[in-house]
Chain A
Amino acid sequence: RKEVEQDPGPFNVPEGATVAFNCTYSNSASQSFFWYRQDCRKEPKLLMSVYSSGNEDGRFTAQLNRASQYISLLIRDSKLSDSATYLCVVTVYSSASKIIFGSGTRLSIRP
C-alpha cells in the first residue's frame, strides 16, 4: 500500500461546480499536511497547509481527519483557472524525516 494515496482522476466538472477530493495516508506518525497545485509541465506550488481544526482560504477548504487518516480539499465555485493537478503532501517526523508526495489528482474545469 502506498504511504499517500490519491484518486488520480481526472475530475471533469463544469465551471461553478463544487468539487472535493481526498488523500489518505498510512503512517499514523504523519504530522504535517499540505495541498500543492501543479500545472502541466510546471513546478508544484503550495496551495494551503492543512490544520487539525480545518482551514479555509477563499474558495478552498482543507480538512484533516486523523482518526480515519485522510485529508480533503474542497473547491467551491470552481473557475477555469482551477484546472491543474492537486498534490497531497505528508511529512512524517521521526529519526529520519520523510516528505511524501501523493501522485496527484487531475482536475479539469469545463466552461
Chain B
Amino acid sequence: NAGVTQTPKFRILKIGQSMTLQCTQDMNHNYMYWYRQDPGMGLKLIYYSVGAGITDKGEVPNGYNVSRSTTEDFPLRLELAAPSQTSVYFCASSTTGVGNQPQHFGDGTRLSIL
C-alpha cells in the first residue's frame, strides 16, 4: 500500500536555487494539499487542489508554485530558495472536501536552505 509518496526525503539547497518536491498518491483522491511544518509548530497550508487542473492558495503560498495535471501528482515548486523556506514539507490527500478528514500524509521532505 503506497498511499502518499513524497520524494526526496531530504535535500539541502543553496540560496537562490530551485527545486521541485514530488508528491504522488495512488488512492484516486481528488483533494491534495501541501503543508510546511517549522520546528515546534503546527502545519501551515501552502496550496491545495480539489482536482486535476484546479489549485488554490492556502495560508502561506508566497515563494511556492504548484500544478495538478493528473489526479495522482501534485508537485510543489520552489523557484528561488530562501533560508525562511527551511522546513519539513508534507503532502496529503483526502477523498472529500477541503478540510474533511482523514487526510493521508506522506512521510515528509526535510528541506534545508543554506
| A contacts, CB < 8 Å to B | 4, 8, 32, 34, 42-46, 49, 87, 89, 91-93, 96-104
Contact = CB atoms under 8 A, between A and B. Distances in A.
Contact of B100 (A32, A43, A104): A32
Contacts of B40: 8, 103
* Interface secondary structure of A, over-half rule: strand
Interface of B: 33, 35, 40-45, 56, 58-59, 90, 97-103, 105-108
A21 to B, nearest CB: 14
Nearest to A96: B56
Contacts of A89: 101
B103 A101 contact: no
Given A43-B90, A43-B108, A103 B99 contact: no
A32 B108 CA distance: 25
A4 B107 CA distance: 24
B42 A104 contact: yes
22 contacts: A32-B100, A32-B101, A34-B101, A42-B108, A43-B105, A43-B106, A43-B108, A44-B90, A44-B103, A45-B102, A45-B105, A46-B103, A49-B101, A87-B42, A91-B98, A92-B99, A96-B56, A97-B99, A99-B45, A100-B42, A101-B35, A101-B44
A92 B90 CA distance: 21
Contacts of A4: 42
A24 B103 CA distance: 21
Nearest to A101: B42
Contact of A97 (B43, B98, B102, B103): B98
B99 A99 contact: yes
A57 B107 CA distance: 25
Contacts of B97: 97
B49 to A, nearest CB: 13
B60 to A, nearest CB: 12
Contacts of A100: 42, 59
Contacts of B33: 99
